[in-house]
């Protein structure tokens, strides 16, 4: 998209020339996955063939506000002062950037689905840095645009939305039209289910730190989460990624217990 960056070990994405002005945003090109990341399509096609429907193949994309946060801040951030300065002092500039990301990510979801992804998860990791009223302006419309665009061409493709620390925004996440809202562990599963309603599926939401506990403790926590989620429309998962140093045998135990559950 004409945004040079690198992934630096221990730091994550580093944007060489952070975007701060209307002129910067004008230089951003819309993403054409067939040209820029053909290997993603190839990898999904190969993976789908090898998996042979014994497991689901997931794709994933970044959400517009989260992508914008990286390119405006210049990388990861603690206080998000630069993107908030842009949002609150030059909202038109940020909206122009968000629109480019929304159009591009909708195409990217469609591309992944066309090449073998059976479901796609949208990560809006930094949307929860916004207050609810600002989420409604700078994130929600663009997430909804992606969902609406994809559903026009791929009406049966399940779309999952994840935003860490999203307890204050759950009801608004559901307004995007996604099929599944992924909860992190800061929300009680039963409460999250109640707040989201029965028409939407939930994913999660075991604390990754639980995998440092005993196998008995892990089993108990899985059973508690599944019980609170109720019957159907629940994808058992962690509430975030696996933490570095997690014992592999405990990860294996998580899968074994999960696969042997019966309602």
Burial class (CB in 10 A: 0-12, 13-18, 19+), 179: middle
Q: Which helix (H) or strand (E) holds 225?
A: helix 215-229
Mean pLDDT for all residues in the chain: 96
How does pLDDT run along the chain (263 residues), one tens digit per residue? 999 999 998 888 999 999 999 999 999 999 999 999 999 999 999 999 999 999 999 999 999 999 999 999 999 888 999 999 999 999 999 999 999 999 999 999 999 999 999 999 999 999 999 999 999 999 999 999 999 999 999 999 999 999 999 999 999 999 999 999 999 999 999 999 999 998 999 999 999 999 999 999 999 999 999 999 998 899 999 999 999 999 999 999 999 999 999 87
CATH assignment of 1-121+130-160, among 1.10.3720.10, 1.10.390.10, 2.60.40.1180, 3.20.20.210: 3.20.20.210
Contacting residues for 215 by C-beta, under 8 A, at least 6 apart: 250, 253
pTM: 0.95
Which of 125, 224, 118 shows the shortest CA–CA distance to 184? Answer: 125
Residue range(s) occupied by CATH 3.20.20.210 in the chain = 1-121+130-160
Q: Are 2 and 27 in contact (CB under 8 A)?
A: yes
Q: Is the dihedral of CA 134, 178, 113, 107 positive or negative?
A: negative
- Residue bearing tokens 């019980």: 227
């Amino acid at each position: 998209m004409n945004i040079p960056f690198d992934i630096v070990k221990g730091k994550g994405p580093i944007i060489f020339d952070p975007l701060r002005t209307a002129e910067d945003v004008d230089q951003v090109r819309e993403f054409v996955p067939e040209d820029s990341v053909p290997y993603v399509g190839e990898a999904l096609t190969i993976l789908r063939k090898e998996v042979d429907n014994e497991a689901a193949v997931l794709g994933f994309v970044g959400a517009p506000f989260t992508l914008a946060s990286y390119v405006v801040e210049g990388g990861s951030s603690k206080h998000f002062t630069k993107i908030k300065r842009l949002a609150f002092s030059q909202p038109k500039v940020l909206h122009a950037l968000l629109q480019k990301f929304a159009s591009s990510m909708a195409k990217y979801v469609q591309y992944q689905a066309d090449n073998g992804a059976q479901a796609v998860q949208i990560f809006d990791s930094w949307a929860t840095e916004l207050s609810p009223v600002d989420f409604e302006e700078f994130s929600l419309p663009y997430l909804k645009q992606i969902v609406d665009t994809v559903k026009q061409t791929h009406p049966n493709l399940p779309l999952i939305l994840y935003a860490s620390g999203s307890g204050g925004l759950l009801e608004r996440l559901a307004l995007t039209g996604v099929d599944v809202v992924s909860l992190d562990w800061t929300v009680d599963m039963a409460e999250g289910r109640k707040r989201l309603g029965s028409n939407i599926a939930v994913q999660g939401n075991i604390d990754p730190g639980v995998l440092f506990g005993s196998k008995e403790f892990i089993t108990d926590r899985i059973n508690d989460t599944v019980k609170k989620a109720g019957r159907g429309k629940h994808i058992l998962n962690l509430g975030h990624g696996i933490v570095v140093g997690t014992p592999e045998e405990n990860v294996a135990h998580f899968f074994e217990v999960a696969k042997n559950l019966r309602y």
